[in-house]
Amino acid sequence: MPQMTEGVYFIPGQDEFIPDSHVYVIGKPSSKDLSLVDAGLMNKGAYKLKAIEALGIKLEDIKRIIMTHTHLDHIGCLSEIRGRIPHAELWIHANEAEPLEKGDEKTVYGMDMFRSMCQTQYGLKPGDFKMKVDRTLKGGEKLEIGDMNWEVMHIPGHSSGCIALYNSSSKVLIPGDVVYADSAIGRFDLHGADGAQLNDSLLKLGDLEVEILLPGHNRVVKGVKPGYIRETAKQWAPYLT
């Protein structure tokens, strides 16, 4: 089910021994003003772009890439994807854009052990994720893109610059790794993570009316039960201090 609703397309991640994030294309194709949400793990760019083209979407219509956050499983193939759509801007929350521009890759790898493991596995070098960001997001922006309205919400806790994208008319939420299906939430032990902040972020998302939940991993859900995120927040609250 690649089309979740009008103007929202789902390209599933292809997990390896590390997960590969899902990617979403948002915007009505007739607008020729589409956005890619997240990229994915190293070497998954060609697969993602091929899947997007198979939907009949023209790569030249992708005008920007919006990152929910910059963990390796989301940003790993960003350069590969940008190589094919060099005209596309890169939008990231300020808390993760500023370190990236300076070449600080602590959020990308999350922890030192993971950094050395991934650098060995994928032949990555320090500085590989140093990049210029075209627009830094703060949260609270009301984006009019692709003939749709998307609100940017800053939802830190899994990492410090996590954002969600929310479309109120179709009740679509793209929360990155903050909340998943099946009462799961993002981990909160990596660099920049904070359990109490994650709790606040879940409560904030819990106030939204959500029918279509499109997380960074695992199942996507159409027909989300009312109160699902609030329930999930309640279950996790004792651990999020």
User: In the window 174-203, what residues touch Zn ion (CB under 5 A)?
Assistant: 177
Q: How far is the CB of 28 from Zn ion (least distance, A)?
A: 27
Q: How far is the CB of 124 from Zn ion (least distance, A)?
A: 17
Phi-psi region of 141 (alpha: psi -120 to 50; beta: other; left: phi over 0): beta
Judged by CB under 5 A, the residue of 216, 221, 228, 229 near Zn ion is 216
Q: How far is the CB of 187 from Zn ion (least distance, A)?
A: 7
Q: Is 73 in the site for Zn ion (CB under 5 A)?
A: yes
Burial 194-216 (b: 16+ CB within 10 A, else e): beebbbbbbbbbbebebebbbbb
Judged by CB under 5 A, the residue of 22, 63, 64, 71 near Zn ion is 71
User: In the window 85-124, what residues touch Zn ion (CB under 5 A)?
Assistant: none
Q: Is 157 in the site for Zn ion (CB under 5 A)?
A: no
User: In the window 15-54, what residues touch Zn ion (CB under 5 A)?
Assistant: 21
Binding segment for Zn ion among 8-16, 117-125, 141-149, 169-177 (CB under 5 A)? 169-177
Which residues contact residue 166 at a Cβ distance below 8 angstroms, ignoring those fewer than 6 apart?
A: 150, 151, 153, 172, 173, 174, 208
CA 215/CA 217 separation, integer angstroms: 6
Phi, psi of 69 (to 5 degrees): -175, 180
Q: Is 76 in the site for Zn ion (CB under 5 A)?
A: no
3-state secondary structure of 52: helix
Binding segment for Zn ion among 29-37, 73-81, 128-136, 200-208 (CB under 5 A)? 73-81
Rounded to the nearest 10 degrees, what angle do helices 195-206 and 228-236 cross at? 160
> Which positions touch Zn ion (CB under 5 A)?
21, 71, 73, 177, 216
